[in-house]
Structure 1
């Protein structure tokens, strides 16, 4: 009977070859904390809740909850302008041309507010027509102190599910392999901003708290594209 033991295995034919590991196609996820977030959120929260009382919800990826129209930059006042400036600084620092050069880009922006209460969330979706998308947390609904309340920002593995469907018990070594074909969940905290490429599939897990979970979403597109 033929011996199919690979070299370097139990047969002891020698050590495995020296390998070069290339981590190709990384996915940037940027997280930052807004300066003076507590005072800013105290101003922005009542503006959003007042708008909720007089405007019907837009229905897109949201499963329950309230989503405003995509013109928050027009009615969000000074606190929203501060949020936009903070987000713009992040995406400009994270964006380069193909030669690696940073520049000031002519951004086209649209943004909206989300209010989730018990049982509300967002199904997986992307933001077509944009380069970067940001989520800013005005009120985490208590999740920051008690993660058991759910409401996590969930990001799907862009490599897809094919590897885990074939052999779900196997992966490659290192932390990148643990999420192969699955998703990562980030616990939101008031004052935090998460910025992702707009093509990255993401959603919001159902919120199980009793307060409002309030966030702002921002799309950055290149003007003229």
Structure 2
């Protein structure tokens, strides 16, 4: 049997945050309060409301707790060149001090986010406070979408073919939002949000972690 070695793979990490139901109630409360008192910023968002990038300052205990989950997940997913996991300042572990920032996004019907990356960060991520019904009905759209970092190169010579084990080469991959789910990925990955078509609110919190 031939051996397939997945060279240069890109990590996409998903994590179900514990006690997310209670956490989401408080996060939704502070986001709705902020939305009533502050206008939207305009960065990658196409419609919808996006907060300033300092939610760790105005989001209260719930926001700090969420960012702590993100830092812990990043520690588990980050190693040195020998593959040692960065769990803290112990004799056989290296230490990483993550500088984090975070912001809230509220998308309603027709809202989306164009493709972008997060220069200056190491990990980026998103946490879903309310998936707007997408988890139960994927036809509502609103998926997190990633571009193949190789661009269209894998499709240029024979666009009707795929190499075994790489069916989405040259295209995109999508992650379906689910309340309580956290997703982290390298900050250089181009990503966006598909238009949401539901009648509720798709509420998420994005964050960056820099070294």
Q: State the shift of 1:99 in Å.
A: 2.3
Q: 1:36 aligns with which of 11, 14, 19?
A: 19
Partner of 2:156, secondary structure, is: helix
**1:140 is aligned to 2:131:** yes
- Structure with higher Rg: it is 1
What's the counterpart of residue 177 of structure 2? 188
Count of aligned pairs = 203
TM-score (normalised: structure 2): 0.93
Q: State the shift of 1:38 in Å.
A: 0.8
Residues 19 and 35 from structure 1, CA distance in 2 versus in 1: closer, same or farther, beyond 3 angstroms? closer
Between the aligned partners of 2:17 and 2:164, the Cα distance in structure 1 is: 35
What's the counterpart of residue 121 of structure 2? 130
Between the aligned partners of 2:85 and 2:18, the Cα distance in structure 1 is: 24
Q: 2:191 aligns with which of 202, 220, 224?
A: 202
What's the counterpart of residue 109 of structure 1? 100
Q: String of CA shifts for 1:62-115, please: whole Å, max 9, x gaps.
A: 111111111000111111111111111100011111222233311111110000
Q: State the shift of 1:19 in Å.
A: 5.0
Partner of 1:42, secondary structure, is: helix
What's the counterpart of residue 165 of structure 1? 156
**1:83 is aligned to 2:93:** no
What's the counterpart of residue 11 of structure 1? none
Q: Unaligned stretches of 5+ in structure 2?
A: 87-94
RMSD of aligned C-alpha atoms?
Answer: 1.2
Between the aligned partners of 2:137 and 2:3, the Cα distance in structure 1 is: 42
Between the aligned partners of 2:6 and 2:182, the Cα distance in structure 1 is: 26
Between the aligned partners of 1:20 and 1:30, the Cα distance in structure 2 is: 25
Q: State the shift of 1:22 in Å.
A: 2.5
Q: State the shift of 1:20 in Å.
A: 4.6
Partner of 1:135, secondary structure, is: strand
What's the counterpart of residue 64 of structure 1? 47
Between the aligned partners of 1:63 and 1:166, the Cα distance in structure 2 is: 34
Between the aligned partners of 2:71 and 2:113, the Cα distance in structure 1 is: 24
Q: State the shift of 1:134 in Å.
A: 1.1
- 5 Å-filtered alignment, 1:41-56, equals 41-56=24-39
Q: 2:168 aligns with which of 179, 185, 197?
A: 179
TM-score (normalised: structure 1): 0.87
